[in-house]
Amino acid sequence: MTNTLQFKEFSSFVNISFWHELSNKKLDELKLSEESIPLNGHYTFSPSQQLDPFLCLEFNAFLRNNVTNSTENQYVLPPRSYLSHGTLYNYNTVDDFKQSPKIKLFNDASKRIWNDINNGNIDKDTSLLNRFILLTYADIKNHQFYYMFGIPALLPSQPIQQFTEKPESINIESLKSFSNQILPQYFCLKQQQQESSTTTTTSFELIGSIEEKGNQYLNECLENDLIPLVGFCDPCSLPLNPGWPLRNFLIYLSIKYPMLKKIKVLCYRGNGSTSNSILLSLELPSMGEQLIKKQQEEDAGEWSGKSVGWEKDSNGKIAPRFVSLASTMDPLKLAEQSVDLNLKLMRWRVMPSLELEKIKTTSCLLLGSGTLGCNVARSLMSWGVRNITFVDSSKVSYSNPVRQSLFTFADCSPKAKEKSIAAADALKKIFPAINANAHVFSIPMPGHSVPQSEYQSIRNTIELLENLIKQHDVIYLLTDSRESRWLPTMLSRAHGKLCINAALGFDSYLVIRHGIKDQCQNELNPSISSKLGYQGSDLGCYFCNDVIAPTDTLKDRTLDQMCTVTRPGLSMMASSIAVELLISTIHHPYGGRAKGETETDVYVQGSTPLGIIPHQLRGFISHYQTLPLFSNPYKHCTACSDYIIDEYNSKGFDFIINVMNDSSCLTKICGIDDLKNTEVNIDWDIDISDDDDDNNNNNNKEKNDDF
Amino acid sequence: MLTSKDFRDQAINLIKKWNNIIDEIPWQWNQINELNNESKGYFTTKRYHKINNNNNNNNNNNIENKNNNNIENFEEIKETIDDSSTTIIKSNNNNNENNIIIFQFDIIYSKSYQVPVLYLNGFSSFDSSPLSWNEIWNNLPLSNLDKNQQSTIPYITQVEHPILGNPCYQLHPCETDNLMKLILLKEKDYNDNNDKKEYFKDYYLLSWLSIIGPMVNIKIPFDLLKNNNI
């Protein structure tokens, strides 16, 4: 009984470096050419039965082999690998790829093998039996590649049969002589037996390659009526099936030696402990005679047989394969991964407890896109913050770019861009994965009267501002005037958002994080930045040290005084501290409810791995000094006290409008006026406050620091 | 500190011995000749690894399959029925095949750090597509170390391959020199003899690999270590 021999197909493995090289070649050399290009592929032994035999293409597939010029790079086979000759057909459009004459190209490759067998080329180089074609469409812009492999195997008229029931498994001891040898792709060998009293030991020894010894050996076997023993290096490791390279080898033998009827084939699979070489006993096909007759009849020697070998997909269909390298070659994604990985460098090398994911998901609203806004944004982005929203109402002027680091001259001329929009665009240019948004409006301010006709637009602006505050985790106050900070301070307090305020004088700055009230008392306002709302402590805000309401401080200012009366380095210093203060707060388990620390001894450990978390810092550039300070929230504060928040919660927009039109109502609502009334007969210098001395000292000092 | 010449000499010597001992995918030395007559090379190999997380791989394949539908109305090629191929067997193996990934390792000398550097990439054995970072990381022994230990191991970042130019991942070399000095110092403490120090330097590359290799599933043959007394 005979059994049909079944061969294991190749699977392709195309290294990413091949596609990279093809892209470079197409851009630099091929351009729109669609000429075929020779390729070098290779295969080697498979280490596992679970793996298909791989036909591999690497970056050097385009190089020629047998190069005589020693300075030119040439294709070098990896160790214990065997050569496969290929042809690349690269198409410029998907339609060309679809309409390419695939069957003809495949048949051409088959004919070439057939011709090489008959004209004697195989006698000199058996690697020509292993050919493949590769059809590609390279969508370089999107880093996507479509491809098809065809690996032709000439078909005999009848399938090849085994004259034993199944292949014989060969133990590695009998192949010991093959160790430390570089075996040819196809070879002939002899089998020796040593008999002792109890056992028969078999060993195989190499006679030589088919190119060198094949003709002599096979003719001798025919003369002596012996079954010849040949071998090949088999990329397959299945116990019952040889690999694809055997198919054309058997065709070659049957054509060249038509009298040869039976043959034994060693499928050599290496000498490793898990290798499982097998020995096949085959009846050679009789196609040789038929094909010879056909050849004589046609007199042209044209290939008239059939062949198979298109690579199939997982459903067994012949279809294009697709590989997308966008995730590894897309510059946008490369930038994003690199930024992330470099932040992780800090964590891995210095500080394992860094909360990079928290930082990444924190969204920041920047009110003011001037010198502070630009610099705060740069630092936030450097820490990995991905969501930044700018708010500003003004446009970039000629004096801005030298101080405001996100702007360039092009933002002023020929047409001045809105600052917030220019800032967001600049961030995207610097890091495309940033989610930067911009809004153009001015913040309603106490003491800036609102005409009746503008009530609706002011209402819309307030609603927009409130929605933005709700949507973000952290609110940065980076505006030019005091009173523009009042409304966002009040709204942030009402919605339980962390608010960080940075303000500049000529040679001093203030950075303060506003307190977050105990959330148990106000469960209607859940806070993202303070999940442990019942723990920690409250803190004072920017306005807690005032006993007067914020009012219009712009009336008496000249244009030059609005934003330029400050030493240039001050903004970078204040901005970096404002950002670092946020990062420290993020790392505290209580978040925005972390109490303010004032420890100045650098050897005393702070509450987070990054050090202390101050409440506020005052910097004095004249003496290059920074002081951490602390103050409790003032229960009669004009911005954050319960009186104000309750008034807002009950009256909403009407309350805000009243404050806009007459800011003095704030001191009445929060109770400062009542305090004044109870002391009507006492001199102003006498202590009229219930708070401690620190607060009074800050209070007095605050009067002299009009930011 | 390792010189470029020592790197090349030790690499070629190591490859020769390693490839003789074991029957895995062998190491290969790739010689690259530059236009300016400067010559450089590196050595490379591949390893097959059974994947830990099936879900990621399946998701990846689903994405690929969706994208593959971009080629519509593709004329079907009808091939002769082939009784001699193992298509049926392939469908049985298909499930296993999806669970095996291919790692490629390149070891390249760094001029700036004067140390060897390991570059790696991961591919699906099914269709050669590059793996996502998470898929690569989850299949490296590195990811099994606990959080505290991670701060003491080399850090992996995505870079451009210094010779081939395609994206890949590297174990950052910034700590390699300090690491190797510790090993050298240990030898010196053990034996102040200069010969001992000289002896150790000859095996810089193998010593480095014996530390880095296990982190990324490069198994060094025992015979190789034994024969070199490391």
pLDDT for A706: 37
Q: Is A67 on the interface with B (CB under 8 A)?
A: no
Q: Is A102 on the interface with B (CB under 8 A)?
A: yes
The reply to whether residue A349 touches residue B30, judged by beta carbons under 8 angstroms, is no
pLDDT for B148: 55
Residue A421: pLDDT above 90? yes
pLDDT for B188: 47
The reply to whether residue A76 touches residue B64, judged by beta carbons under 8 angstroms, is no
In A, which residues are within 8 Å of B127 by CB distance? Answer: 321-323
Determine, yes or no, domain membership for B203: yes
Q: Provide the residue type at B20 as one letter.
A: N
The reply to whether residue A310 touches residue B84, judged by beta carbons under 8 angstroms, is no
Chain B closest CA to A120's CA: distance in Å? 27
Percentage of residues in chain A with pLDDT exceeding 90? 22
In A, which residues are within 8 Å of B48 by CB distance? Answer: 47-48, 51
Please give the tally of structural domains in chain B. Answer: 1
Determine, yes or no, domain membership for B74: no
Chain B closest CA to A79's CA: distance in Å? 6
Q: Is A124 on the interface with B (CB under 8 A)?
A: no
Determine, yes or no, domain membership for B40: yes
Cross-strand bridge partners of residue A200: A195
Chain A closest CA to B28's CA: distance in Å? 6
The domain in which residue B27 lies consists of 4-51+97-227
In B, which residues are within 8 Å of A355 by CB distance? Answer: none
Lowest mean pLDDT among A32-46, A290-304, A606-620: A290-304
Q: Which structural domains are found in chain A, ordered by start?
A: 7-155 (3.40.140.70), 161-295 (3.40.140), 336-670 (3.40.50.720)
Find which of A327, A337, A342, A353 to mutate to test the B interface (most B CBs within 10 Å of its CB). Answer: A327
Chain A closest CA to B161's CA: distance in Å? 9
In B, which residues are within 8 Å of A348 by CB distance? Answer: 150-151, 153, 155
Q: What is the mean pLDDT of residues A678-693?
A: 44
**Residue A622 DSSP code:** G
User: Which tokens sit at A385?
Assistant: 């913050």
pLDDT for A304: 60
The reply to whether residue B167 touches residue A321, judged by beta carbons under 8 angstroms, is no
Write the residue in A317, A323, A337 that is nearest to B128 by C-beta. A323
In A, which residues are within 8 Å of B125 by CB distance? Answer: 11, 13, 51-52
> What SS3 class is residue A391?
strand
Determine, yes or no, domain membership for B61: no
Determine, yes or no, domain membership for B11: yes
pLDDT for B230: 53
Find which of B79, B126, B132 to mutate to test the A interface (most A CBs within 10 Å of its CB). Answer: B79
Determine, yes or no, domain membership for B65: no
Q: What is the mean pLDDT of residues A343-358?
A: 77
CATH of the domain at B203: 3.30.1460.50
Residue of A nearest to B35 (CA): A71
Residue A384: pLDDT above 90? yes
Q: Which of residues 570-629 of A touch B (CB under 8 A)?
A: none
The reply to whether residue A47 touches residue B86, judged by beta carbons under 8 angstroms, is no
Q: Say how many CB pairs under 8 Å bridge A and B.
A: 200
Q: Which of B63, B153, B174, B211 is catalytic?
A: B174
Q: What is the mean pLDDT of residues A214-220?
A: 86
Write the CB contacts of A555 (distance below 8 Å, at least 6 apart in sequence): none
Separation of alpha carbons B131 and B125, rounded Å: 10
In A, which residues are within 8 Å of B165 by CB distance? Answer: 20, 24
Residue A255, CB half-sphere, CA atoms under 13 Å: how many?
A: 25
Selection from A501, A483, A487, A496 nearest residue A541 by Cα: A501
The reply to whether residue B77 touches residue A342, judged by beta carbons under 8 angstroms, is no
Tens of pLDDT, residue by residue over B61-96, are 444 444 444 565 666 676 776 767 775 444 444 444
In A, which residues are within 8 Å of B119 by CB distance? Answer: none
Q: Which of residues 256-295 of A touch B (CB under 8 A)?
A: 270-275
pLDDT for A545: 67
Chain A closest CA to B189's CA: distance in Å? 27
User: Which tokens sit at A420?
Assistant: 């917030």
Instruction: Return the biggest CA–CA distance within chain B.
Output: 75
The reply to whether residue A238 touches residue B130, judged by beta carbons under 8 angstroms, is no
pLDDT bracket for residue A364 (50, 70, 90):
very high
Three-state secondary structure string covering B180-214: HHHHHHHHHHHCCCHHHHHHHHCCHHHHHHHHHHH
Tell the residue number behind the tokens 């969204």, with chain if given: A363
> What SS3 class is residue A522?
coil
Write the residue in B74, B100, B157 that is nearest to A50 by C-beta. B100
Q: Is A635 on the interface with B (CB under 8 A)?
A: no
CA dihedral A416, A421, A424, A427 (to 10 degrees): -20
Query: Active-site positions of A?
Result: 563
Determine, yes or no, domain membership for B124: yes
Tell the residue number behind the tokens 């933005």, with chain if given: A468
Chain B closest CA to A301's CA: distance in Å? 22
pLDDT for A580: 93
Q: What is the mean pLDDT of residues A272-295?
A: 69
Separation of alpha carbons A705 and A702, rounded Å: 5
Write the residue in A9, A15, A272 that is nearest to B22 by C-beta. A272
Separation of alpha carbons A415 and A420, rounded Å: 15
Tell the residue number behind the tokens 């812009």, with chain if given: A141
Q: What is the mean pLDDT of residues A339-365?
A: 81
The reply to whether residue B74 touches residue A320, judged by beta carbons under 8 angstroms, is yes
More confident residue, A291 or B101: B101
More confident residue, B187 or A8: A8
> What SS3 class is residue A621?
helix
More confident residue, A93 or A29: A93
pLDDT bracket for residue A374 (50, 70, 90):
very high
pLDDT for B145: 64
More confident residue, A695 or B220: B220
In A, which residues are within 8 Å of B223 by CB distance? Answer: none
The reply to whether residue B85 touches residue A320, judged by beta carbons under 8 angstroms, is no
Separation of alpha carbons B101 and B51, rounded Å: 6
| CA dist list (Å): B229 to B9, B11, B203, B206 | 19, 18, 10, 11
In B, which residues are within 8 Å of A180 by CB distance? Answer: 20
More confident residue, A193 or A555: A193
Determine, yes or no, domain membership for B172: yes
Residue of B nearest to A103 (CA): B77
